[in-house]
Structure 1
Amino acid sequence: MCLHTPPCPSADSPDGAGAKVVGRDSGVGAAWLCNGVLLFEDTGALLPDGRIVAPHSALAAPNATRSLC
């Protein structure tokens, strides 16, 4: 559950990758977001319910790639 103000976008919203990073694993190139999303450097993601989001252009997710640098 997000405690940020304003709240982070939900995992299944179009801007879900814009949630705040709460943890990182640089060994696998991933970040855990406040909304439960596991976001990978290649812009792919694993949603909290187990659905997979295929990698897409870094230009489509500027916050996601910036947060992992």
Structure 2
Amino acid sequence: MCQHQPPCPSADSSDREAAHPVAHHPEQGWSLLCNGVLLFEDTGELLPDGQVIAPHRPLGTVRVGSAA
């Protein structure tokens, strides 16, 4: 699928989100990457084989201790 040199990460590699976007629709909240991964703005993913990857957005920072 990917024509980039060097080739982008495949859909089954751990760094699949590093592939180049070929379609980007921020108004709908998704991008299609050149490896066939559908990447959603909440960081969820739909892989070409139909596998769903749950959103994995980092949680907010936790304050340790307080100046009370």
Measured against the shorter chain, the TM-score band is 0.7 to 0.9
- Given the two structures, how large is their TM-score scaled by the length of structure 2? 0.80
Percent identity, please: 61
Higher RCO by CA contacts (8 Å cutoff, separation 6 or greater): 1
Structure 2: gaps of 5 or more residues: 60-68
TM-fit CA distance, 1:56: 0.3
- SS of residue paired to 1:6: coil
- SS of residue paired to 1:57: coil
**Could you tell me which residue of structure 2 aligns to residue 64 of structure 1?**
none
**Could you tell me which residue of structure 2 aligns to residue 29 of structure 1?**
29
Count of equivalent residues: 59
- Given the two structures, how large is their TM-score scaled by the length of structure 1? 0.79
Q: Quick one: distance in 1 between partners of 2:30 and 2:58?
A: 14
Please tell me whether Structure 1 or Structure 2 has the larger radius of gyration of its CA atoms: 2
TM-fit CA distance, 1:25: 1.7
Structure 1: gaps of 5 or more residues: 60-69
Q: Quick one: distance in 1 between partners of 2:13 and 2:58?
A: 18
- Structural RMSD (CA): 1.4
TM-fit CA distance, 1:57: 2.2
Q: Which portions of structure 1, spanning 4 or more consecutive aligned residues, are displaced by more than 2 angstroms? A: none
